[in-house]
Amino acid sequence: MQRIKSVLNEAARILAASSDSAALDAEVLLCLTLDKERSYLRAWPDKELQPEHAARFWTLIQERQKGTPIAYITGIREFWSRDFLITPDVLIPRPDTELLIELSLKLIPADKPVKIIDLGTGSGVIAITLAAERPHAQVSATDLCLAALRIARLNANKHDTNNIQFYQSNWLANVPHAKFNLIISNPPYIAEDDSHLTQGDVRFEPQGALCAGEQGLSDIKIIADTARNHLETGGHLLIEHGYDQQHPVQAIFKDFHYDNVQTVTDLSGQPRVTYGQWNYSAEATLVASKK
C-alpha cells in the first residue's frame, strides 16, 4: 500500500544518491502531484495515494533522479517572494540575485519615473520585481533568446506589471537610443571550462545563460563598455558576477571610467555584485566612451 509517509521515505532514500535535498525534493514533488501544500503531507501521513497519483509521483521521482532540476519539473521558482514560471529555456533564478534587487531599490526613488533596463532578463525576475516594487519606474528588459523573452512576458502578465518594455537585443544593440538611470544585469559569467558546468542543476540550464569567454568576463566587458552611452549623468551600472571575479570586474569598471566603484557581498559573504556610477555629461560620454 502506498501511503504518504511511506512513499516520502522511500523517495527520499532513492534520491539521496543524487540530490542534497532529497527529503525536501520528495515532499515538493508529492505536493505537485496532489496539488496540496506541505502541511497536508504532515497532517495526513497515513493517507493512501490513489493509483494515478502514485504513478505520477514515481514518474516525477525518476525525472529528479536523472538530475532534472526541481524548478524545471515544477515549472515554478520563487524570487523576492513572488512565484515565476520557469522552463528549460531560462536560467533558474538564484537567491544570490536578490542582492541586485536590494541594491537597486536603494538607488531608485519610490516616487519618480526613473528609467531602468535589465540586460539578459531570462525569466524576467529582475525587471518584473523592480517594476512591481517601483510602479512609477519605466522598465526595459532585453534578451538575445526569443524563447526566454516569451517566458519573461508570461511572467510580466502573471504579475500584472504593465510598466515593462521587452526587446530582443544583443545587450544594448537593438535598444532604441535611450538613457537610463539604472542599468542592471546578471549576465553569463562562468568560464567555458569551469568544472561546475558538468555538475548538478547547471547541466540542464541553457549554456547561453551561463558561459562567457575570457574566463567568464567577455559579456561583462561588453556591457560595461556599451552601457556608458546609455547612462544618464549620475546613473548606475550594477552587474552580478562570480565570487572570484571581484578584482577583474572592478578593473573593467575603472578602465571604462566609472566612478565610486564598489563590490557588495552576498548572504554567504562572497563578492557578488559590482556597481559604479557614470558621472559624465552627454558630450563627455561620447569622448570617454571612445577611450
Ligand X SMILES: C[S@@+](CC[C@H](N)C(=O)[O-])C[C@H]1O[C@@H](n2cnc3c(N)ncnc32)[C@H](O)[C@@H]1O
Q: Does 144 bind ligand X (CB under 6 A)?
A: yes
Q: Does 120 bind ligand X (CB under 6 A)?
A: yes
In the list 121, 129, 140, 246, the residue contacting ligand X (rule: CB under 6 A) is 121
Q: Which residues 6+ apart lie within 8 Å of 77 measured at CB?
A: 71, 83, 84, 86, 92, 93, 123
Q: Does 143 bind ligand X (CB under 6 A)?
A: yes
**Binding to ligand X in span 165-184, by CB under 6 A:** 170-171
Return the half-sphere exposure (C-beta side, CA atoms, 13 A cut-off) of residue 279.
Answer: 9
- Residues 91 and 210: beta-carbon distance below 8 Å: yes
Instruction: Name which of 200 and 208 has its Cβ closer to ligand X.
Output: 208
# of chain residues touching ligand X (CB under 6 A) = 22
Residues paired with 275 in a beta bridge: 238, 262
Q: Does 186 bind ligand X (CB under 6 A)?
A: yes
Q: Does 126 bind ligand X (CB under 6 A)?
A: yes
Q: Does 242 bind ligand X (CB under 6 A)?
A: no
Task: Provide the grid cell at 286.
Answer: 561620447
In the list 4, 29, 71, 125, the residue contacting ligand X (rule: CB under 6 A) is 125
Q: Applying CB under 6 A, which part among 5-13, 39-47, 117-125, 195-203 lies near ligand X?
A: 117-125
Q: Does 142 bind ligand X (CB under 6 A)?
A: yes
For 254, other C-beta atoms within 10 Å of its C-beta total 13
User: Using CA atoms, how far apart are residues 291 and 284, in angstroms rounded to an integer?
Assistant: 11
Q: Does 187 bind ligand X (CB under 6 A)?
A: yes
Letters for 83-112 (x = contact with ligand X by CB under 6 A, - = none) are -------xx-x---x---------------
Task: Provide the grid cell at 218.
Answer: 567577455
Least separation in angstroms between residue 22's CB and ligand X is 25
User: Using CA atoms, how far apart are residues 177 and 179, in angstroms rounded to an integer?
Assistant: 7
Query: For residue 133, which of 157, 165, 101 has the smallest C-alpha distance?
Result: 101
Q: Fill in the DSSP letter of residue 86.
A: -
Rule CB under 6 A: which residues touch ligand X? 90-91, 93, 97, 120-123, 125-126, 142-145, 148, 170-171, 186-188, 208-209
